[in-house]
Homo-oligomer: A and B are copies of this chain.
Amino acid sequence: MLTLFHQTLCPLSRYVRLILGEYGIEVHLHEERFWERREEFMLLNPAGQIPVLMADGQPPVPGAAIIAEFIDETMPPERGEDRLLPASIAERVEVRRLASWFNDKFHTEVSGPLVSERVFKRYMTVAQGGGPPDTDAMRAARHNIRYHLAYIGWLVRTRDWLAGDRLSLADLAAAAHLSATDYLGEVPWNADEAAKNWYARVKSRPSFRAILADTLAGLPPAVSYADLDF
């Protein structure tokens, strides 16, 4: 059995949940208040960050990108064409490039600040970095997301899925970050019709169901968050 140390609205954790969901692999979810720097958790991941995946007989696997490689190497699907990291070198480069685009760039510029300011900070003490949301950081994130939506729209106007002909880690990364942002009602879907249509396709996949059922006490999702016809 796998255990994922995560937070419900952490987009990097959602990425891992979506990968496992696509492969039909069950995982036990452990909500980790990583900002408390709990001693047992720091032993699992000295960097103190989520997500961390635990698999029987293996060392703890930290970080979204490293977990994705680990799953690909240890639990690939039976049918090669279902693989979220394709076999050809050129496709692997493109899938990894776009997964990193969302897990690193989008996370730094959009989903990281929004989720930290609006969600994680609510639970933190002042010493842990808590306090009122930084409105400058949120304003910058709301500005930046429009460029990312336009980029997604541009990609899916030339391809079926973000990295090419088939669903890949790239789509799951983008959708994971957008879903956390969408929970907060922070995605201006009207800004790009093609991006919206692509997200509607990803959102309707069975792997997305658990994500859409998420709710946080005291912070309900935006009205259309779980709506497949948003």
Q: A63-B100, A66-B100, A100-B66 are in contact. Are A73 and B92 (CB under 8 A)?
A: yes
Instruction: Report yes or no: B65 in contact with A100, Cβ–Cβ below 8 A.
Output: yes
Count A-side interface residues using an 8 Å CB cutoff: 25
Instruction: Report yes or no: B93 in contact with A47, Cβ–Cβ below 8 A.
Output: no
Instruction: Report yes or no: B73 in contact with A96, Cβ–Cβ below 8 A.
Output: no
Cross-chain contact of A93 among B66, B92, B105 (Cβ < 8 A): B66
**Does A62 belong to the interface (CB within 8 Å)?**
yes
Q: Closest B-chain residue to A108, C-beta based?
A: B108
Instruction: Report yes or no: B94 in contact with A59, Cβ–Cβ below 8 A.
Output: yes
Instruction: Report yes or no: A47 in contact with B89, Cβ–Cβ below 8 A.
Output: no
What sequence of 0s and 1s flags, for each residue 75-113 of chain A, a beta carbon within 8 Å of any chain B beta carbon? 000000000000001101110110011000100000000
A207 to nearest B CB, angstroms?
A: 24
Instruction: Report yes or no: A59 in contact with B151, Cβ–Cβ below 8 A.
Output: no
Contacts of A24 in B (CB 8 A): none
Instruction: Report yes or no: B96 in contact with A58, Cβ–Cβ below 8 A.
Output: no
Cross-chain contact of A97 among B62, B96, B97 (Cβ < 8 A): B62
A88 to nearest B CB, angstroms?
A: 10
CA A181 to CA B100, docked complex, whole Å? 25
Instruction: Report yes or no: B96 in contact with A66, Cβ–Cβ below 8 A.
Output: yes
CA A73 to CA B62, docked complex, whole Å? 22
A2 to nearest B CB, angstroms?
A: 14
**Does A193 belong to the interface (CB within 8 Å)?**
no
Of the A-B pairs whose beta carbons lie under 8 Å apart in the complex, a sample of 10, sorted by A's number, is A47-B105, A58-B89, A58-B90, A60-B93, A61-B93, A65-B100, A66-B100, A69-B69, A69-B92, A69-B96
Please give the residue numbers on chain A whose beta carbons come within 8 Å of chain B beta carbons, in ascending order.
Answer: 46-47, 58-63, 65-66, 69-70, 73-74, 89-90, 92-94, 96-97, 100-101, 105, 151
4 shortest interchain CB distances as A-B pairs: A66-B96, A59-B93, A61-B93, A59-B90
Q: A58-B90, A61-B93 are in contact. List 16 more A-B contacts (CB 8 A).
A: A47-B101, A47-B105, A58-B93, A59-B93, A60-B93, A61-B97, A62-B100, A63-B100, A66-B96, A66-B97, A66-B100, A69-B92, A70-B92, A70-B93, A73-B89, A74-B89
